[in-house]
Amino acid sequence: MDMPTTPRTAAPTLLSGPAVGIPSQRKILSVLVGGQILGGVGVGATLSLGSLLAAQLSGSPAWSGMAATMSTLGAAIAAVPLARLAVARGRRISLSTGAFIAGAGAVIAITSAAVSVFPLLLLGLMLLGAGAAVNLQSRFAATDLARAGTRARDLSIVVWSTTLGAVLGPNLFGPGEAVGAAIGLPPLTGAFVFSVAAQLAAALVYLVGLRPDPLLAAMSVRDTTVEAPRPRSGTLILRSNARARYAVATVALSHATMVALMSMAPVHLREHGASLVIVGFTISLHIAGMYALSPVFGWLADKAGRVRVVLLGQFMLLVALIIAGVAANSRTAMTISLVLLGLGWSASVVAGSAMVAESVQIQDRPATQGISDLSMNTAGALGGALAGPILALVGYSGLGFLAIAVVAVVVIWTSLRTA
């Protein structure tokens, strides 16, 4: 079902001409994990406060959802330019540039609160979305020099490290307010100071740690008997490469399914009397399902094959949606459903991302990965936007049953490819 992979013992031949040094994969993973944790803190420390600031500066809670919308939009907009920068200058420059942009976004968000200008806040939150784009690109950077037999595992380790930043970030709200008050910042902006510091630190980690650059090193390692073609655009690659098309669609559709259900779960739980503590705990378990077992799914994808793990992920998503459909009024059932939703997302995205990385030649990887991240963020934003009206029309149960159609698309596509 999966394409044959290069034997783990195969040694590449250096391309004639100036050679780029080859960094160790362990060093690459250590740098990426460190940057991912810092970047996760920077994003996690501000996203929830962004919604509160949006409501405050706009004068209406109806605008609070724009925080997540602008951040997602920023990640989508940054995906392709950062991928192109990676081709031209390497991962080191691309990742550090994205982190710098996110840090600038945090500064603009603080300024917006100081001058009480709501559109300025939206701009700051959009620029902060570049930090999420960097986190997504980091998982692909882990595959640049990875062996075929460990590519999914290496990618999954970087995905897993997101957990640490995501958990630590929201816990900085209190300390952030204390720091902000001490230096005279407006209320609700203190945590953005931590975001600025974390993003600048992440940029420094990438700039210093990714030497030699893994992507440039990988592009210098080729068979000297084959002339390397010029990189192509992501859209051109998807039109001509069925495997890349399938992998990108699998990641995007799985993400849309997860976002649609997850984004409406707090609303549904609150409508049925759950306290904020219960809602927070339930969402925390969902996030744990998304990230905590990603190395397990990476190992499985390397051992059992990418397609099998994609199908495992779709099966877990299907069970989660069925539970949401038939037992949405049970808090226990909702918790089980959301955990399975996170696990299904993790398996599908880890295996699908590994397929994205290996479906094309090295010179086309950044463009394919950029279009994958763009598709993923766009699908997530669309899933979240449509989930609200669907929830209002048919309830959370109806949302769960309707989302089965998205899973069916992936399963049918997979079956057609492997038939």
Same domain membership, residue 363 and residue 256: yes
Based on the domain organization, do 170 and 271 belong to the same domain? no
Tell whether 13 is covered by a domain: no
- Which of 222, 245, 260 is at the close of a domain? 222
| Domain endpoint, select from 196, 222, 248 | 222
Whether 81 is covered by a domain: the verdict is yes
* Shared domain check, 127 and 70: yes
Check residue 224 and give its pLDDT: 43
Closest to 90 measured CA to CA, from 368, 364, 361, 366: 366
Q: Are residues 269 and 379 in the same domain?
A: yes
Are 203 and 253 contained in the same domain? Answer: no
Half-sphere exposure of residue 6, counting CA atoms within 13 Å on the CB side? 14
Write the DSSP string, 181-205. Answer: HHTTPPTT-HHHHHHHHHHHHHHHH
Q: Which of 222, 242, 268 is the last residue of a domain?
A: 222
pLDDT at 1: 46
Which of 362, 228, 226, 343 has the alpha carbon at shortest distance from 289?
343
Domain of residue 402, residue span: 231-419
Q: Which two tokens stand for residue 235?
A: 């859209």
- Say yes or no: 361 and 215 in one domain: no
* CA–CA separation, 243 and 240 (whole Å): 9
With CA atoms as reference, report the closest residue to 47 among 123, 101, 106, 117: 106
**Peptide linkage before 212 cis (omega within 30 of 0):** yes
Q: Are residues 313 and 183 in the same domain?
A: no
Q: What is the pLDDT of residues 168-211, one digit of tens each?
A: 766 676 787 788 888 888 887 888 888 899 999 999 999 999 99
Below-70 pLDDT ranges, the chain: 1-21, 42, 44-48, 61-62, 64-65, 166-167, 169-171, 173, 222-231, 276, 419
Distance, CA of 268 to CA of 260 (rounded, Å) = 12
Buried b or exposed e, range 261-290, using 16+ CB within 10 angstroms: bbbbbeebbeeeebeeeebeebbebbbbbb
Residues 91 and 198 in one domain: yes
Q: Quick check: is 63 in a domain?
A: yes
* 266 and 372 co-located in one domain: yes
Residues 205, 238 share a domain: no
- The structure's pTM equals 0.79
Same domain for 214 and 249: no
What single-letter amino acid sits at 409?
V
CA 1 to chain centroid, in Å, comes to 26
Same domain, 162 and 246: no
The pLDDT value given to residue 191:
81
CATH code at 71? 1.20.1250.20
List of residues 6+ apart from 9 with CB closer than 8 A: none
Rounded-to-integer distance, Cα 149 and Cα 147, Å: 5
Q: How many domains does the chain have?
A: 2
Q: What is the pLDDT of residue 376?
A: 92
Tokens of 149: 């037999």
Q: Is residue 64 part of a domain?
A: yes
